[in-house]
Chains A and B, each alone.
Chain A
Amino acid sequence: MSVTSIVKDREAKTMTVTAEFDAPVERVWEVWADPRKLERWWGPPTYPATVEEHDLTPGGSVTYYMTGPEGDKPRGWWKIVSVDPPHQLEFDDGFADDAGNPNPKVPVMTIRVSLEALANGRTRMTIETTFPSPEAMDELLAMGMEEGMSAAASQIDELLVPEPQVG
């Protein structure tokens, strides 16, 4: 399994995903640094990404849109904070309106990518997502971290099972 851990830390307002790949650091870096590779994994198969701008330098931008099954095209952007190939990349990650302008109603997350060489040519990738505010954290994650909620959610899921799936 590639994902080795996912840790959500409410205090620090972060979610950290750790994964390991059977490929050297330089190769893993390419999936971020090569826009054609990036667009093969950033969006899910139902929402493939098309990367337009791709400037991985401090202050530089990455802009993209995803194409949904109904032709909808949600747009997003990165603003590069810092970059140290092939080990570190930090950027703000936000959504944009149809004209490509940042959407202020959606919280902006900061994503820090770290690539670390392991033995046998393997690489550990750590993705730390930091949320800007407790409210944004609430919106996106807070409940996921509460065992009580997870329990309630699974109970609720059980209650929902016999019902016909709506959406």
Chain B
Amino acid sequence: MVVDRDERTGRVFRALADATRRDIVARTMRAEQSVSGLARLYPMSFAAVQKHVAVLEAAGLVTKQRQGREVMVTGNVATVRRASRVLDQLEAVWRGRVDRIDAILTEDRRGGAKR
């Protein structure tokens, strides 16, 4: 019920506000990717992709692991799952509240004043 509004959540949302970073998360959730492999996918420099990965890592959305000369990136399913829940939460809160108000009013009508 209480929307998770701690700083970590803010970081996750800001990290996901960028289309490239969303794509990186989606790809690395499907399969581990190397930073250099990711860099080939986007029209930007290796350094720029590295920076995106660093933002995602700080938000807990991916983890990095060195394998020989490559840095491998893996999407963090749990963080993404939590983020997608928070997105809908406030809306869901109000849908729930409206349904409960409706139930109270319906009960009023049945049990209370005739109209």
In the complex, what distance in Å separates the CA atom of A107 from the CA atom of B3? Answer: 11
Known: A142-B17, A160-B81. A149 touches B97 (CB 8 A): no
Residues in A whose Cβ lies below 8 Å from that of B87? 141, 143-144, 149-150, 153
Among B9, B23, B105, the most chain A Cβ lie within 10 Å of the Cβ of B105
Whether A144 pairs with B101 at a CB distance below 8 angstroms is: no
Contacts of A140 in B (CB 8 A): 3, 5, 86, 90
B84 at the interface (CB under 8 A from A): yes
Number of B positions contacting A (CB below 8 A): 46
Nearest-neighbour CB distance to chain B for A64, whole angstroms, equals: 12
By beta carbon, the residue of chain B nearest A106 is: B5
| Cβ of A157 under 8 Å from chain B | yes
Taking a contact as CB atoms under 8 Å apart, the answer to whether B22 and A152 are in contact is yes
- Of the residues B2, B19, B77, B88, contact of A148 by C-beta under 8 Å: B19
Residues in chain B within 8 A of chain A (CB atoms): 1-3, 5-6, 9-10, 13-14, 16-17, 19, 22-23, 25-26, 29-30, 77-78, 80-81, 83-84, 86-88, 90-91, 93-106, 108-109, 115
List 20 interface pairs A-B (beta carbons < 8 Å), by A numbering. Answer: A2-B99, A19-B98, A21-B102, A22-B109, A28-B105, A37-B104, A43-B1, A44-B93, A47-B2, A66-B1, A74-B2, A95-B2, A136-B5, A138-B14, A140-B90, A142-B17, A143-B13, A144-B87, A153-B80, A160-B81
Interface residues of A (CB under 8 A from B): 2-3, 6, 15, 17, 19, 21-23, 27-28, 31, 37, 40-44, 46-47, 66, 74, 95, 105-107, 121, 125, 127, 129, 135-136, 138-144, 146, 148-150, 152-153, 155-157, 159-160, 163, 166
